[in-house]
Amino acid sequence: MAALFRAMTYATVFAGVLLIYLPARLLAWAGVGRPAALDSPQIAGMVITCAGVALALWCIASFALIGEGTPAPFDPPRQLVIRGSYRYVRNPMYYGGAMALGGAALYYESAALAAFTAGFLLAAHLFVLLYEEPVLRRKFGAEYEAYCGRVRRWQPGAGQAALQ
């Protein structure tokens, strides 16, 4: 239960800054306000944002309950998390964040927020390549290598081992 509390605390701070505060500042800077009406883009944006938040929360809970840790690099899971949404893609938490940001961009019809979402995805990709994967390889060794053979980094579906 302590891991869940730690994970939710970290996620609240991380999401508060990266997914709420910075996008709000960007929208204010770009002069984008709340839409006057709820049309198709706003409804689609809300649905996508809610789905992204739900996915991110599922990932955070998996890190805490299965991995006994948090998404924070200074308090990572003690067990390799390969169940739940991690069965389908190795980085679903970033998908959740990108969906939340992309949904907000759609809701506000904001090119600036869409660009921020693209920047988020690029930063996530570089972080995964340069930090996360090397750390996971050192920490979990063959178990992580086998997982990488079964599950793709970004594309949901069957991994390389299943394709051969």
CB atoms within 10 A of CB 58: 16
**In tens digits, what is the pLDDT along the chain, a chain of 164 residues?**
787 888 888 888 888 898 899 999 999 999 999 999 999 999 999 999 999 999 999 999 999 999 998 888 888 899 999 999 999 999 999 999 999 999 999 999 999 999 999 999 999 999 999 999 999 999 999 999 999 999 999 998 755 444 43
pLDDT at 54: 96
pLDDT at 158: 58
Assigned CATH topology for domain 2-163:
Four Helix Bundle (Hemerythrin (Met), subunit A) (1.20.120)
What are the tokens at 153? 């980094």
Would you say 159 and 148 are in contact if contact means Cβ atoms under 8 Å apart? Answer: yes
pLDDT at 71: 86
pLDDT at 159: 53
pTM for the complete prediction? 0.88
pLDDT at 95: 95
* Residue 77 CB partners (closer than 8 Å, separation 6+): 63, 66, 67, 68, 69, 70
DSSP 132-164: IHHHHHHHHHHHHHHHHHHB-SSS-SB-HHHH-
pLDDT at 82: 95
The domain ranges of the chain are: 2-163
DSSP 48-108: HHHHHHHHHHHHHHHHHHTTSS-SSTTS--SS---SGGGGT-S-HHHHHHHHHHHHHHHHH
